[in-house]
Amino acid sequence: MTDTVTAPAAASPARKARKPATHFDPNPAKAGWFTRIVLLVICVLWLIPLIGALVTSFRTTSDAANTGWWSVIVHPSTLSSLTLQNYSSALGGTQHMGTAFINSLAITLPATFIPILIASFAAYAFTFIEFKGREFLFLTIVAMLVVPNYVAFIPILKLYRDVGLNGSFPAAWLAHIGFGMSLAVYILRNYMSTLPKTVIESAKMDGASHYMTFYRLVLPMSVPALASFAIFQFLWVWNDLLVALVFIGPGNNEPVTVALTGLQGQFGKGWELVTAGGFITMLLPVIVFFALQRFFIRGLTAGAVKG
Amino acid sequence: MASIRFEKAQRWYPGADAPAVPGIDLEIRDGEFMVLVGPSGCGKSTTLRMLAGLEAVNEGKIFIGDRDITALPPKDRDIAMVFQNYALYPHMSVEDNMAFALKIAKVPAQQRKQRVREAAEMLGLTEYLQRKPKALSGGQRQRVAMGRAIVRSPQVFCMDEPLSNLDAKMRVQTRTDIAKLQSDLGTTTVYVTHDQVEAMTMGDRVAVMNVGELQQVDTPLRLYDHPDNLFVAGFIGSPQMNLMKAVAVDGKAKIGDYLVPVDPASQRKMSGKVTVGVRPEAWRLTSDGGEGLPITVTLVEDLGADSFIYGTSEVEGTPSTVIVRVSERGRIHKGDVIHVTTDPRNVHVFDTNSGERLSD
Q: Are residues A148 and A210 in the same domain?
A: yes
Tell me if chain A has a CB within 8 Å of the CB of B312: no
A302 within domain boundaries: no
* A56 & A135 share domain: no
Choosing from A25, A48, A83, the residue where a domain stops is A83
A74-88, B146-160, B322-336: which has the highest mean pLDDT? B146-160
B85 inside 8 A of chain A by CB:
yes
Q: Is the Cβ–Cβ distance between A14 and A39 less than 8 Å?
A: yes
Min Cα–Cα distance to chain B from A74, Å: 57
Query: In this structure, are A179 and A244 located in the same domain?
Result: yes
- The one-letter amino acid code at B29 reads R
Interface residues from chain A to B (CB-CB < 8 Å): 196, 198-199, 201-208, 212, 216-217, 220-221, 299-306
Instruction: Classify residue B330 by its DSSP letter.
Output: S
Residue B18: pLDDT over 80: yes
Chosen from B85, B116, B128 to mutate, greatest number of chain A CBs within 10 A: B85
**Residues with Cβ < 8 Å from B172, sequence gap 6 or more?**
none
* Contact yes or no for A204 and B75 at CB 8 A: yes
Q: Which residues from A are below 8 Å from B155, CB to CB?
A: none
> Is A300 domain-assigned?
no
Q: Is residue B84 less than 8 Å (CB to CB) from chain A?
A: yes
A108 and A48 co-located in one domain: no
Cβ(B33)–Cβ(B79) below 8 Å:
no
Distances (CA, A) of A270 to A42, A87, A95, B144: 30, 12, 12, 66
Q: B77: pLDDT confidence band, cut at 50, 70 and 90?
A: very high
Same domain, A212 and A237: yes
Q: Could you tell me if B106 lies within 8 Å of chain A, comparing CB atoms?
A: no
Closest C-alpha to B352, from B293, B277, B280: B277
pLDDT band at residue B5 under the 50/70/90 scheme:
very high
| Chain B hits for A306, Cβ within 8 Å | 84-86, 138, 141, 165
Domains and CATH numbers, chain B: 4-230 (3.40.50.300), 239-351 (2.40.50.140)
Residue B91 C-alpha from the chain's centroid: 34
Is the same domain home to A241 and A132? yes
B131's CB contacts (< 8 A; 6+ apart) are B93, B94
Among residues A61, A83, A105, the one where a domain terminates is A83
Instruction: Please report the beta strands in B237-344, taking only residues with DSSP state E, as ranges in sequence order.
Output: 242-249, 252-255, 258-260, 272-278, 284-285, 293-302, 307-312, 322-326, 337-341
Task: Identify the pLDDT of residue A288.
Answer: 84
Query: A132 and A212, same structural domain?
Result: yes
CA–CA separation, A236 and A255 (whole Å): 13
A66 and A162 in a common domain: no
What burial letters (b/e) apply to B203-236, b meaning 16+ CB within 10 Å?
bbbbbbbbebebbbbbebeebbebbbbbbbbbbb
pLDDT of residue B1: 56
Asked if the Cβ–Cβ distance from A208 to B75 is below 8 Å, we say yes
Overall size of chain A counted in residues: 307
Q: Which among B69, B104, B136, B163 is the top mutation candidate for probing chain A, defined by the most A β-carbons within 10 Å of its own β-carbon?
A: B104
* Residues of chain B positioned with their CB less than 8 A from the CB of A204: 53-54, 73-75
pLDDT score recorded for residue A296: 61
B84: which DSSP letter?
Answer: T
Residue B83 and residue A212: Cβ atoms within 8 Å? no
Query: How close A65 gets to chain B, by Cα (Å)?
Result: 58
Do residues A71 and A112 both lie within one domain? Answer: no
Same domain, A57 and A126: no
CATH of the domain at A224: 1.10.3720.10
Q: Tell me which chain A residues have a C-beta less than 8 angstroms from the C-beta of B91.
A: 220-221, 300
What's the pLDDT at B324?
92
Least confident residue range of A191-195, B100-104, B328-332 = B328-332
Nearest residue in chain B measured CA to CA from A220:
B91
The three-state DSSP-derived secondary structure of chain A is CCCECCCHHHCCHHHHCCCCCCCCCCCCCCCCHHHHHHHHHHHHHHHHHHHHHHHHCCCCHHHHHHCCCCHHHHCHHHHHHCCCHHHHHHHCCCCCHHHHHHHHHHHHHHHHHHHHHHHHHHHHHHHHCCCCCHHHHHHHHHHHHHCCHHHHHHHHHHHHHHHCCCCCHHHHHHHHHHHHHHHHHHHHHHHHCCCCHHHHHHHHHCCCCHHHHHHHHHHHHCHHHHHHHHHHHHHHHHHCCHHHHHHCCCCCCCCHHHHHHHHCCCCCCCHHHHHHHHHHHHHHHHHHHHHHHHHCECCCCECCECC
CB contact under 8 A, A198 and B87: yes
Structural domain including A38 reads 8-83
Question: B148 CB near a chain A CB, below 8 Å?
Answer: yes
User: Does the residue A3 lie in any domain?
Assistant: no
| pLDDT of A15 | 45
One domain, residues A78 and A101 = no
- Cis before B239 (ω within 30): yes
Q: Which of B87, B138, B148 lies at the smallest CB-CB distance from A196? A: B87
Task: Identify the domain boundary among A83, A115, A138.
Answer: A83
Write down the pLDDT at residue A1: 37
Task: DSSP letter for B126, please.
Answer: G
The yes-or-no verdict on residue B118 having pLDDT over 80 is: yes
Distance from CA of B352 to the nearest CA of A (A): 41
Task: Verify that A175 and A199 share a domain, yes or no.
Answer: yes
pLDDT recorded at residue A166: 87
For chain A, residues with pLDDT lower than 50 are: 1-21, 299, 307
| A203: chain B residues, CB-CB within 8 Å | 89, 100
User: Would residue A135 count as lying in a domain?
Assistant: yes
Tell me the CA distances in angstroms from B262 to A153, A245, B137, B257, B325, one per residue in order.
89, 95, 52, 15, 20
Phi then psi for B229, rounded to 5 degrees?
-150, 175
Helix (H/G/I), strand (E/B), else coil: B353:
coil
Q: Which residues of chain B are within 8 Å of residue A201 when distances are taken between CB atoms?
A: 54, 81, 83, 87
- Chain A contact for B141 (CB, 8 A cutoff): yes
User: Which of A59-63, B61-65, B248-252, B353-357 is least confident?
Assistant: A59-63
Q: What's the structural domain count of chain A?
A: 2
Chain A interface includes B87 (CB < 8 A)? yes
Is residue B11 less than 8 Å (CB to CB) from chain A?
no
Strands across the sheet containing B21-28: B21-28, B4-11, B59-64, B67-68
Average pLDDT over residues B169-189: 91
Nearest to A198 among B83, B104, B134 (CB): B83
| Domain-located, residue A2 | no
**A109 belongs to a structural domain:** yes
The pTM (predicted TM-score) of the whole model is: 0.79
- State the DSSP H helix or E strand holding residue B238, giving kind and residue range, or none if neither: none
- A194 lies in some domain: yes
Q: Which residues contact B54 (CB under 8 A, 6 or more apart)?
A: A201, A204, A205, B74, B81
For position B189, what pLDDT does the model report?
Answer: 95
Q: Is residue A38 in some structural domain?
A: yes
pLDDT of residue A21: 45
